[in-house]
Chains A and B, each alone.
Chain A
Amino acid sequence: DAKTTQPNSMESNEEEPVHLPCNHSTISGTDYIHWYRQLPSQGPEYVIHGLTSNVNNRMASLAIAEDRKSSTLILHRATLRDAAVYYCIEVVLGGSEKLVFGKGMKLTVNP
């Protein structure tokens, strides 16, 4: 089972920042947080991942709480192309080497 919890859905407006929350209250010190997104009728796409400190890349920023029990994916300027299902995934160090996808969170971007 997925170890993270996300809202079922969120709405945002085009060209505005979007903050997508994720709770992972049972995370251990060595588990990473990954974010993927899935556009309609496509395979998932890697967005970003992090362990403790905040991370930035060309797609998004990831803010991880100091206690690591939650994190927020930040899209600085939403576009219509960002409308997708976003998955927050806790990757367990060692063991079965797999990504456990939950149901994700559907982001709607309004023009």
Chain B
Amino acid sequence: NAGVTQTPKFQVLKTGQSMTLQCAQDMNHEYMSWYRQDPGMGLRLIHYSVGAGITDQGEVPNGYNVSRSTTEDFPLRLLSAAPSQTSVYFCASSPSDRPRETQYFGPGTRLLVL
């Protein structure tokens, strides 16, 4: 298994541009989530999904959209990038709809918004 994969690894955007961060997992996990990590900070939850067709907001959802059309994929869309969205973004998945189980994290996408 490839586990949780994220693309791209690094991206530079200009303010106002839009883009999609890709996340995929091949472990048939129902639960997937997106976090952002700012320098010196812990991770903050952006959006999560407990299964295909079901998404919900996390702690910091503003400026981001998600959809979950398949079990494998959970893309994160930045609608109009702002410098405040400069961060490292991590996608994670879990084998059940509760996070008590192990969460597997991807390698991250570093985003710089100018």
Count how many chain A residues have C-beta atoms less than 8 Å from C-beta atoms of the other chain: 21
Count how many chain B residues have C-beta atoms less than 8 Å from C-beta atoms of the other chain: 28
Cβ of A85 to closest chain B Cβ, rounded Å: 9
User: Is residue A107 within 8 Å, beta carbon to beta carbon, of the partner chain?
Assistant: no
Determine the residue in chain A with the shortest Cβ distance to B35: A101
User: Is residue A64 within 8 Å, beta carbon to beta carbon, of the partner chain?
Assistant: no
Q: In the complex where A87-B42, A101-B42, A101-B43 touch, is A43 in contact with B97 (Cβ < 8 A)?
A: no
Q: Assess the A97–B43 pair: CB atoms within 8 A.
A: no
Q: By DSSP majority rule, is chain A's interface helix, strand, loop, or mixed?
A: loop
Q: Assess the B90–A91 pair: CB atoms within 8 A.
A: no
Cβ of A37 to closest chain B Cβ, rounded Å: 11
Q: Assess the A46–B104 pair: CB atoms within 8 A.
A: yes
Q: Which residues of A contact B102 (CB under 8 A)?
A: 46
Cβ of B97 to closest chain A Cβ, rounded Å: 7
Q: Which residues of A contact B104 (CB under 8 A)?
A: 46
Q: Which residues of B contact A44 (CB under 8 A)?
A: 43, 90, 92, 103, 105
Q: Which residues of A contact B92 (CB under 8 A)?
A: 43-44
Q: Which residues of A contact B41 (CB under 8 A)?
A: 103
Q: Which residues of A contact B99 (CB under 8 A)?
A: 34, 91, 97-99
Determine the residue in chain B with the shortest Cβ distance to A98: B45
A-facing residues in B61-114 (Cβ within 8 Å): 90, 92, 97-100, 102-108
Q: Which residues of A contact B42 (CB under 8 A)?
A: 2, 87, 101-104
Q: How far is the CA of A101 from the CA of B88 in the complex (A)?
A: 15
A residues contacting B by CB (< 8 A) are 2, 32, 34, 36, 42-46, 49, 87, 91, 96-104
